[in-house]
Amino acid sequence: MESAQELGDEALVALCQQGQGQCFEVLVRRYMEKAFHIAYDFTRNKETAKDLSQDAFLRAYANIKRFDGRSSFYTWFYRIVVNLCLDHARRNGRVIWESLDQGTEESGTPRQLVDGQHQPDQEAIAGEANRRAAATLESMPNKQRTAFLLRNQEGLAIADIAKVMKTTEGTVRVYLHRAVAALRQSLVEFV
């Protein structure tokens, strides 16, 4: 396994396809944090995010022989994660987002949108901005939110997001711009 860790995704996939299933574990290690974080961004729930992202690995492994290398492994895999998340969202209705100013489950402390000295009014402003940012993200159409989360949270290049979402780069650019416009709109009467 020592050497497998140094192999690229494509080489690992090829080994899996030849029956060396244990090589898939390297891919799990490599992508588990990203897979979990995407699912978390969609669900805002740790347990659900864990289940969904693990399901994505199961599905990827079960279909590894169908992976034809036309896209990179990670765009193929991200598509599986995103599809599972969207299915989940469809089955469960609107994604229920915890208000961001409640903080995350782990840290328990609110993240501040406004940097600098935390005078009371600034903290109130930051809390309000957080709340609005969360509401904005929640109210975005699914495709817009998907594009935004993949770029903003996961750092995927627009070209890769287009592959994951099976759309054009131009469309992804439009989604990103609309996401920012929606955020601006929600902050327009703010301060």
Regarding 177 and contact with another protein (CB under 8 A), the answer is: yes
Half-sphere exposure at residue 28, Cβ-oriented, CA atoms within 13 angstroms: 16
Output 59-68 pairs: Cβ under 8 A, ≥24 positions apart: 59/84, 60/27, 61/16, 61/21, 61/24, 64/13, 64/16, 64/17, 64/24, 65/17, 67/13, 67/17
| Helices 73-91 and 158-165, packing angle to 10 deg | 60
Regarding 167 and contact with another protein (CB under 8 A), the answer is: no
> Which range of residues in 2-10, 38-46, 68-76 is near another protein by CB under 8 A?
38-46
Nearer to another protein, 13 or 176 (CB): 176
Q: Which of residues 138-157 bind another protein (CB under 8 A)?
A: 148-149, 151-153, 157
In this chain, which of 57, 73, 76, 77 binds another protein, going by CB under 8 A? 57
CA distances from 65 to 18, 35, 60, 80, 131 (A): 9, 20, 9, 15, 44
Regarding 114 and contact with another protein (CB under 8 A), the answer is: yes
Q: Smallest distance from the beta carbon of 104 to another protein, in angstroms?
A: 5
Regarding 130 and contact with another protein (CB under 8 A), the answer is: yes
Residues that bind another protein (CB under 8 A): 21, 24-25, 28-29, 32-33, 36-37, 40-41, 46, 50-51, 54-55, 57-59, 61-62, 100, 104-107, 111-115, 129-130, 133-134, 136-137, 148-149, 151-153, 157-158, 173, 176-177, 180, 183-184, 187-188, 190-191
